[in-house]
Amino acid sequence: MLERKNIEFPLWRKKVDKSLFGYNGTTIPNWACDMWKLPETFADVSSKKDEGSIVKINFNSTLYDGWVTSAKKGRRSPAYRLWYDESLSLELKHTFLMSYMRSLETNLSSRKTTDIEKTIPFWEFLDIEYDSSKRLFKFCAYYTQEPSFPELFKRLVQSSAIQRIDDEIANKGEARIHKQDWMLRSALPLQQGAKNVIYTLIDTRNKLIYIGEAVDLVKRLSANYASIPHWDYFRYDVLPDVFAPHRVTLERMIIRDLAALLPNKKHDNNICISEYILANTKIDS
């Protein structure tokens, strides 16, 4: 592999492992802290709430928010950690797909990281530079492992099933709604595992929109819809399990809200904000 020629600042070439994906941050090794002279700037910064922790991170020509903190309690020398926002974490999962999937496998199994790296042997690397004058970290994917099924893996990273597994591993116990972007109808088979959802269907040719709820998204949308048979796009939100008893109530509320804004078969006293027509026929008064 050819060495990069555009390195501008002192470099840490980090082997990509599960530490990169957990908790939206990574611990910085002591030698890199010294190389970047982080103690001079961040020695007394212990919280992301401290304005002194704020940095920027450049990855693929996009700037992301970041923070550097120092943890001293119970340590012979402070531990420095670089934090980044959720959007960058998602981009890293997309870029290092194979390492991310392997990290999920590690956390779901009883095997240690070293064991699974022997079982599934490959390595990916992230180059990290730091421009102290601008408080700017530069991320660059130095080496990535090509996934066996690249398009499938890319879509899986965004899927609600993977997001829920990620939450489970990270012990995110609070009620979280996993929201999905618009997808073509052809993407429906890839949504296996999407349970307890509220979904939206769009027919872009006939200007129709439909709201529904389902225990199992794929099973529900595989059926024919008389109200909107030619839908071509869909999106959905996965509700937390505690909302399951209230799923239908939430669906009815959303339908009624849209009925106040779109033409429909039941209500005339609406303020139309779009040429789309609400295709639902069961609309509360």
In this structure, what are the phi and psi dihedrals at residue 11, rounded to the nearest 5 degrees?
-115, 135
Q: What is the per-residue pLDDT across 235-285, written as a single tens digit (0 to 9) for each?
A: 999 998 888 999 999 999 999 999 999 999 888 878 889 999 999 999 998
| Residue 174 burial class via C-beta count within 10 angstroms: exposed 0-12, middle 13-18, buried 19 and up | exposed
127 contacts: CB under 8 Å, gap ≥ 6: 4, 7, 11, 12, 13, 14, 138, 139, 140, 141, 142
What pLDDT score does 152 carry?
62
What pLDDT score does 215 carry?
94
What pLDDT score does 149 carry?
63
Q: What is the per-residue pLDDT across 183-202, written as a single tens digit (0 to 9) for each?
A: 999 888 878 778 999 999 99
Question: Is the full-model pTM beyond 0.75?
Answer: no
Which residues in the chain come in under a pLDDT of 50?
Answer: none
Give the DSSP letter string of 60-71: TTEEEEEEEEEE
Q: Give the number of other CB atoms < 10 A from CB of residue 173.
A: 9
Q: Which H/E stretch holds residue 115?
A: helix 113-119
What pLDDT score does 178 carry?
83
